[in-house]
Amino acid sequence: MIKHGLSLRARLVLLALAAIVAVWLGTAWLTYRDARAEFDDLLDAHLAQAASLLVAQATHELDEEFDLEHTPNAGHYARKVAFQIWQDGELRLHSLHAPATALADRTEGFSEREIDGQRWRVYSTRDAERHIQIHVGERLDIRDKLAVELAENLLRPLLFGLPVLAALIWLAVRRGLRPLDTLAAQVAAREPNNLSPIDSGHHPAETRPLIERLNALFVRLGRSLEQERRFTADAAHELRTPLAGIRAQAQVALGANDEAERNRALLAAIQGCDRATHLVEQLLTLARIDAAGNAPMETVSLRNLAREVLAELAPQALAKGVGIELADGEEGQVSAQAAWLRILLRNLLDNAVRYSGKGDTVRVEIGRDQGRIALWVIDTGPGIPEAERAQVRERFYRVLGTGEEGSGLGLSIVQRIAEAHGAELRLLAGDNGRGLKVGIVFAP
């Protein structure tokens, strides 16, 4: 089993060697099996041929009444090959190391027999007219020895060739993976702020998907870094104003001789703290949304959610003399992140109440828009000019001349949450062209 700590180069070499060894062993086994079968057939044919020659010569030799009981030593393998010639049940002639007992029980054909602890492969034939029985045998251990030598000859090239093959595969893999080394060096040599795309034209086709993913990552990183730079600069600018106002009011309070003047300065400083607190909360909300990524979704009832948020903002609306209500409609079941939708609706209602006058009404509607579930917040305030409806989605942008102070982040937060849910943020004129109608149209 290949360990995960091995390099890609080592893995490729080991896998290639394992495949080659497996194929080589399989081929060697099949070759050995076929060769062993052919080998046995060849030796059996030699036994049969030797027996036929002995039948042809036995009549003449036996007629001359040989006095020798056996033939001379025939060499190294004489002990492992033997023949016997029987006539009328009497052993008339045999090889030097042939056993005294008959090599086979049968009179015709091939057979195997164990004699004195040795197994023999025997071919038997006979001359019925002269009552001659001939056995030609070969010890099976010589066949096994030859088969082992055959197997060794088949495997010996693998034993000596495997190191050479491993070295050649290593060099081939090293050369083949050189484009990856080049790509790695190219990425490592980049400056941290260099997010330009990598040219994939000179790289192999196998590395292009990786390069495309890297380029896509560079684009996302560049966009994220640019947003962070702009966000940091805007946040620093927006926080500087309330902090400067708080400092100025504190200085006024310190230098005031009149208690009423001091109280007015302190009250203004508290209001400045509230604005700064609201701004920081909005900034933290945006940061949490941006960092959360793909949060787990759940089934959310927009109507139940709207009831909860309306109850939270009822004291604020009551204090300003603005009515808030939830219009009749369907439940609006959507797959969403409930906490995010609560923040979205709270920001929409907070803006609507903030920019509405005394006696105005803010209405929440849940329905459908071209078959898609939609959440609408409708007010009767000053509205947003059509020319500025695209800009108000940007961070820290505020419509001038409304008389209300804010962070300029409310609709940015709404836009970000809508994007995370695959929903569409719509800004339209309110009823009868008065006020603003903000809609969140969810994906089907």
User: Domain residues of the chain, as ranges?
Assistant: 8-164, 201-292, 295-441
Asked whether residue 168 carries a pLDDT value surpassing 80, the answer given is yes
For the stretch 101-151, pLDDT in tens is 778 777 788 888 888 777 888 888 877 676 778 888 888 877 778 777 777
Going by DSSP bridges, is the β-strand pair 424-429/436-441 parallel, antiparallel, or unpaired?
antiparallel
Q: Residue 67's pLDDT is what?
A: 42
Nearest to 407 by CA among 415, 398, 399, 416: 398
Which carries the bigger pLDDT value, residue 38 or residue 79? 38
pLDDT category of residue 399 using cuts at 50, 70 and 90: very low
CATH class of 8-164: alpha beta
Average pLDDT on 373-402 reads 66
Lookup: tokens for 202: 């000179």
For the stretch 324-368, pLDDT in tens is 898 888 888 888 878 778 888 888 888 888 888 888 888 899 988
Average pLDDT on 251-270 reads 83
Asked whether residue 63 carries a pLDDT value surpassing 80, the answer given is no
For the stretch 65-101, pLDDT in tens is 444 444 444 444 445 677 778 877 777 777 777 777 7
CA angle 136, 140, 142 (to 5 degrees): 100
Which carries the bigger pLDDT value, residue 236 or residue 404? 236
Contact 361, 322 (CB under 8 A): yes
Distances (CA, A) of 380 to 242, 326, 356, 357, 403: 29, 15, 6, 8, 15
Query: With helix as H, strand as E and coil as C, how does the chain read?
Result: CCCCCCCHHHHHHHHHHHHHHHHHHHHHHHHHHHHHHHHHHHHHHHHHHHHHHHHHHHHHHHHCCCCCCECCCCCCCHHHEEEEEEECCEEEEECCCCCCCCCCCCCCEEEEEEECCEEEEEEEEEECCCCEEEEEEEEHHHHHHHHHHHHHHHHHHHHHHHHHHHHHHHHHHHHHCHHHHHHHHHHHCCCCCCCCCCCCCCCCHHHHHHHHHHHHHHHHHHHHHHHHHHHHHHHHHHHHHHHHHHHHHHHHHHHCCCHHHHHHHHHHHHHHHHHHHHHHHHHHHHHHHHHHCCCCCEEEEHHHHHHHHHHHHHHHHHHHCCEEEECCCCCCEEEECHHHHHHHHHHHHHHHHHCCCCCCEEEEEEEEECCEEEEEEECCCCCCCHHHCCHHHCCCCCCCCCCCCCCCCHHHHHHHHHHHCCCEEEEEECHHHCCEEEEEECCC
* Percent over 90 (pLDDT), the chain: 0
Average pLDDT on 145-173 reads 79
Q: Residue 400's pLDDT is what?
A: 40
Average pLDDT of the chain to the nearest whole number: 76
Asked whether residue 210 carries a pLDDT value surpassing 70, the answer given is yes
The CATH H-level (homologous superfamily) assignment of domain 295-441 is Histidine kinase-like ATPase, C-terminal domain (3.30.565.10)
Q: Residue 133's pLDDT is what?
A: 80
Lookup: tokens for 12: 């490729």
Q: Residue 291's pLDDT is what?
A: 61
Which carries the bigger pLDDT value, residue 55 or residue 71? 55
Q: Residue 282's pLDDT is what?
A: 65
Lookup: tokens for 296: 């787990």
Q: Which residue type, as a one-letter code, is found at position 242? A: P
Lookup: tokens for 214: 């890297």
Average pLDDT on 24-40 reads 78
pLDDT category of residue 290 using cuts at 50, 70 and 90: low
Contact 108, 94 (CB under 8 A): no
Provide the β-strand partners of residue 438. 377, 427
**Cα–Cα distance measured from residue 298 to residue 420, given in angstroms and rounded to the nearest whole number:** 14
Lookup: tokens for 101: 């007992």
Residue found under tokens 């590395």:
207
Going by DSSP bridges, is the β-strand pair 333-336/372-378 parallel, antiparallel, or unpaired?
unpaired
Q: Which fold has domain 201-292?
A: Helix Hairpins (1.10.287)
Q: Residue 239's pLDDT is what?
A: 66
Q: Residue 151's pLDDT is what?
A: 75
Which residues have a Cβ under 8 Å from the Cβ of 348 and sit 6 or more positions away?
377, 410, 414, 438
pTM for this entry:
0.45
Q: Residue 395's pLDDT is what?
A: 53
